[in-house]
Amino acid sequence: MKTYNKIFLPFFAIALAGCASASKTAEVNAESDLAYCNEKVHAALSHLPADTTVMPRNIQGDAREWACRPVCAEEWCSGFWPGVLWYDYEYSQDPAIRAAAEQSTRSLAPILQQPVYDHDLGFLIYCSYGNAYRLTGDDAYRKAIVNAADSLATLFNPAVGTLLAWPRHVKDFGGHNTIMDTMINLEMLFFAAKNGGNPYCYDIAVSHAETTMNHHFRPDGSCYHVAVYNPESGEFLRGCTHQGYSDDSMWARGQAWAIYGYTVVYRETRDPRFLDFACKVTDVYLDRLPDDMIPLWDFDDPRGLDAPRDASAAAVVASALLELENYADDTHAARYHDASRAMLRSLGGEAYRSGDANDAFLLHSTGHHPAGSEIDASIVYADYYYIEALNRLRRSEQNAGSPQLAYK
């Protein structure tokens, strides 16, 4: 057993019990929560620079406004703010929000003219251009996504069967590196394959998912952050971490990427192997959650409940489960239904909602803990997956009996 601060833990336990009690009695009101997000978006836009070649990244400490970073291929979070704006436009139908979404999305265009930097091209383009196309039908957005998918596909190594995540780190890891985050970026390949792009993108996505399923997970369904392969023979060399507590730990956001990613892969393939696996990687995550349903940044941090939480991982999983519940058997579906709502109740409660503290939606996310970066911060991708989840919930409630309408 771990030793905790004897003064802090009883207080924290009482606070958690209160959160748990509240989460069991309060309902998730998607309309109300989306109205809150809309208010925060307007506040943020009033404070952000007019120059959309910089995008919100985080709010740390006592700061109230977004810290921005230049839009570039190296800044993997550049696509999330445009995505937030598109989701807010979906809810609000506000022409001013649409104009802001269009302008910020256009700011990513130079990235499309460059050789692919790494796997994050999927985050950059699909979260922005993908939502733009879904909501407007403008063919220019579709063409941009297809072109981006072609670029992403150049990272595929047929000998290994996966996309190379970080070309710049091949020597550092001693081989072809694949990270769990890349599972999210398969969605762009699937989209391209069925929307006028190269059909080979589908094959790449399936190969990546299969190879990752075979090598990137422990027997209990928890994942490594990084899998390293021999780039010539394709031999799996080892699993390790980059952002988790240790090579053998379960990093919360990595597991969240797996849950979301395999849900998408099942949607696009309808292969029951991927549904079974999506449920497996979900269950090991749910089994280890604390009472308020918001994970520690890494489930194996020896500080236990004294460790920082990661609201971003909770937002990713809540969004994924709103879809996965529609595919799973009745027992799993009921569990995922209840879990997604419980996560959204916690995220929308006083403990995690930013309220008047700053311009973000959420508090208490963790970025790169081993590097001491963005610990207990508001981070833009947490807000992205939170507003995505709320829109999915709202759509599913409006289209009862047609859950597929809630997804791309």
The answer to whether the beta carbons of residues 65 and 384 sit under 8 Å apart is: no
For residue 217, list its beta bridge partners: 223
Q: What span, in angstroms and rounded, lies between the C-alpha atoms of 273 and 280?
A: 11
Alpha helices in 166-310 (DSSP H): 170-173, 182-194, 200-215, 252-269, 272-286
- Tokens 């080979």 identify what position? 200
Is there a catalytic annotation at residue 120?
yes
Rg (CA), the chain: 20
- Classify 30 as helix, strand or coil: helix
Q: What span, in angstroms and rounded, lies between the C-alpha atoms of 282 and 18?
A: 26
- Tokens 């833009």 identify what position? 380
The answer to whether the beta carbons of residues 63 and 358 sit under 8 Å apart is: yes
Is there a catalytic annotation at residue 51?
no
Rounded to 5°, the CA angle 116-107-65 comes to 110
| Burial state string for 65-104 with b = 16 or more CB within 10 A and e = fewer than 16 | ebebbebbbebbbbbbbbbbbbbbbbbbebeebbebbbeb
Report, in this order, helix, strand and coil percent for the chain, each rounded to 5.
55, 10, 35
The amino acid that residue 68 corresponds to is C
Q: At what angle do helices 95-106 and 80-92 cross, to 10 degrees?
A: 160
Determine which one of 33, 120, 298, 383 is catalytic.
120
Determine which one of 33, 88, 118, 181 is catalytic.
181
Q: Which residues are catalytic?
A: 120, 181
